[in-house]
Amino acid sequence: MNIIEIHSKFPTELNAVQHFERLRWGKKVVCYYCEGTNLGQRQKDMRFHCKDCRKSFSVTAGTFLQSTRIPLKTWLIAFSIITNAKKGLSAHQLKRDIGMSYPTAFKLYHKVRELMADENKGIEDLEGVVEMDETYIGGKPRKINDPCFKPKKRAELDKQINELKDEGFSFTPKGKSKAKCQPEPKRGRGTDNIPVVGIVERGGDVVAQVMKTITYDNLKNMVKKYVNEDKSVLVTDSLPAYNSMKKIINHIKTDHSRLYSYRGVNSNSIESFWAIIERGIMGQYHSVSPKMLPNYVAEFVYKYNNRNNHGKMFDVLCKKAIKPTS
């Protein structure tokens, strides 16, 4: 559902409230506290007063949206904007689109990601040809340019820099982030970046999780949790941690130092998913904290699994947001 449809179907806050009421109770509003139906007229703050237990309540009582100060129509608009952004969008962009402060937009977005993560918990029994791989999230250190370290070239550059500094120019980076250079920067599995492991069913769903350390036991537990071992064949690369997978599942691997694909045996599907994550983080978020990384991964998993049905993404968020939490 796009923004124009949101404004058309829910022109006022009351329309948005009534939409959530239908999702929660159907045709008849029920008291949150006593489940009675003897209710007074809707009050100006959109709350109802129960004549049986004499308590007032709103549609968000006891739900994920309880105590929210953000109008429910704004939540609907946020659901629409976020679900329609395949590679995500920054909290600053969401702030501009909705018209709220950055801290509020940041918290709202992560609340939406929590709903997505909760929906992802239902993924299980991937089967058929399933591909498993890992990626590493984090910045890539820049290589030092060798000519800069040759004495003659370095002296020339130092002289030029010093002359420009004398004229009042400063080359010191502004801001908190400064580029780091390493003579021999490590990449891929040799980095200190955060590993994320994923499993995808070809043509189907994907699961991904941040993994502290990549070991056989951790990978095995992930396979057992999400894959139907009896009806699947696992395709991986030649990482030694996968070597014992044949004990629990049919396993075939490719050595990427020699080839990437042979007669359909490849990890192209999971690599395509990693490409979406990497482009989203590099192009939209630029920097992701380790603490929040699982939320970002959950967002990409949710969108990938609903890639053929954007309307479902919106509807699921609405239903989960208003579902009683206890």
CA 11/CA 253 separation, integer angstroms = 55
- Same domain for 200 and 236, yes or no, is yes
What pLDDT is stored for residue 187 in this prediction? Answer: 54
pLDDT tens digits, residue range 131-150?
999 999 876 655 555 545 56
Q: Residue 46 falls within a domain, yes or no? A: yes
Structural domain boundaries, residue 211: 123-139+189-306
Q: What sections of 100-246 are H helices per DSSP?
A: 102-120, 151-166, 216-226
- Same domain for 9 and 152, yes or no, is no
The CATH number for 233's domain is 3.30.420.10
- Same domain for 13 and 113, yes or no, is yes
- Same domain for 133 and 102, yes or no, is no
Q: Containing H/E element for 251?
A: strand 250-253
Taking 3-state DSSP, the helix, strand and coil percentages for the chain, each rounded to the nearest 5, stand at: 45, 15, 40
What pLDDT is stored for residue 256 in this prediction? Answer: 80
- Same domain for 152 and 236, yes or no, is no
Q: Residue 130 falls within a domain, yes or no? A: yes
Q: Residue 174 falls within a domain, yes or no? A: no
Reported confidence tier of residue 314, pLDDT bands at 50, 70, 90: very high
Pairing mode of beta strands 181-182, 142-143? parallel
- Same domain for 66 and 37, yes or no, is yes
Number of domains in the chain: 3
- Same domain for 164 and 232, yes or no, is no
* Residue 135 · residue 239 · CB < 8 Å: no
